Amino acid sequence: MHVCKGLRKCRVTLKSMDSEKQVLKQGSFQRLCLSDISIPSSPQAIEDLSISISLVGPKLYTFPLDELREATHNFSWNNFLGEGGFGPVYKGFVDDKLRLGLKAQPVAVKQLDLDGLQGHREWLAEIIFLGQLRHPHLVKLIGYCCEDEDRLLVYEYMARGSLENQLHRRYSAALPWSTRMKIALGAARGLAFLHEADKPVIYRDFKTSNILLDSDYIAKLSDLGLAKDGPEGEDTHVTTTCIMGTRGYAAPEYIMSGHLSTKSDVYSYGVVLLELLTGRRVVDMCRPNRERSLVEWARPLLRDQRKLYHIIDPRLEGQFPMKGALKVAALTYKCLSHHPNPRPSMSDVVKILESLQDLDDVIIGPFVYVAG
């Protein structure tokens, strides 16, 4: 999927003095939107960038590049955690003596790859959204670094990495059904929070690699670099001419027309639910032709109880509640509707998943899987 590339080096300014006044409303915080920020194409002073960001995220720390080099042992390969469209991510450790009020802790440092798929605009979007929004199921952005062309972000460290790695990693124990549902519910709560904010946020790149897990498998959404402010007033969607996201997760109406809404995220959430159900990757070119696209292969089977039994992840070995699995399958089917209107809201998804947390009609015995 084509991804538009952001600016490498530029200055961020508020569109007008009124934008600064919008940050405070009757003594309470009001979120600043990405649309409130202007990004001129000509290079300007970096000092102005920091001033603008200070209005966005007053709780964020500014880190010099040298401090992040030291924290990650000069971005050592031994500290490498992974890499996405933004760039490589390294584990580091910040000392409590670095900043007043900042406790000593492990961190994840994301470094912008100037030759990668994302750029300065995505780096800034991450700061704007995660710098202002706080929720138990959103990863915490601690601070950032902006020196010359270097752009880095510093997050809380998530001990178990991404859901993608936990779900699809070879030679590891399968995630139990209860853990999968815990993750699904946590991710749904995070997405619902974004959708129901005073100024709704469309995630636009919801996928298993952007769902991070702490040591207790609590799910937190990360990487809001492609996020977009949602429609306001009577509008049902926003339109973009630049299709951004990840193959297999993007909603059909977004791919075809560029129409984005919170229901576009619901479709992507349905894809993740399908991965949790089946244990399969969303696109797998190693499988037979008809099974390479997970959604195309599995969605028609979600409404048939007999067929559903055979597409649920065989690594679970039958250890799952059949009633719960049927309800999750029905929910997944609705989320994956070809049209946005029939899809449920994320708050409805949360309610359904909450009702399934205590189901315990577990099938005892081995799960017989017949390879097709």
Answer positive or negative: Cα dihedral of 308, 310, 311, 317: positive
Query: Is 302 within 8 Å of 270 (Cβ atoms)?
Result: no
Q: Is 6 left (phi over 0), alpha (psi -120 to 50) or beta?
A: beta
Contacts of 33 by beta carbon, 8 Å cutoff, 6+ apart: 128, 199, 229
Is 36 considered catalytic here?
no
Which one from 18, 150, 205, 229 is the annotated catalytic residue?
205
Please tell me the distance from the alpha carbon of residue 32 to that of residue 202, in angstroms, as a whole number: 15
Please tell me the distance from the alpha carbon of residue 113 to that of residue 371, in angstroms, as a whole number: 41
Query: Is 133 within 8 Å of 197 (Cβ atoms)?
Result: yes
Catalytic residues: 205
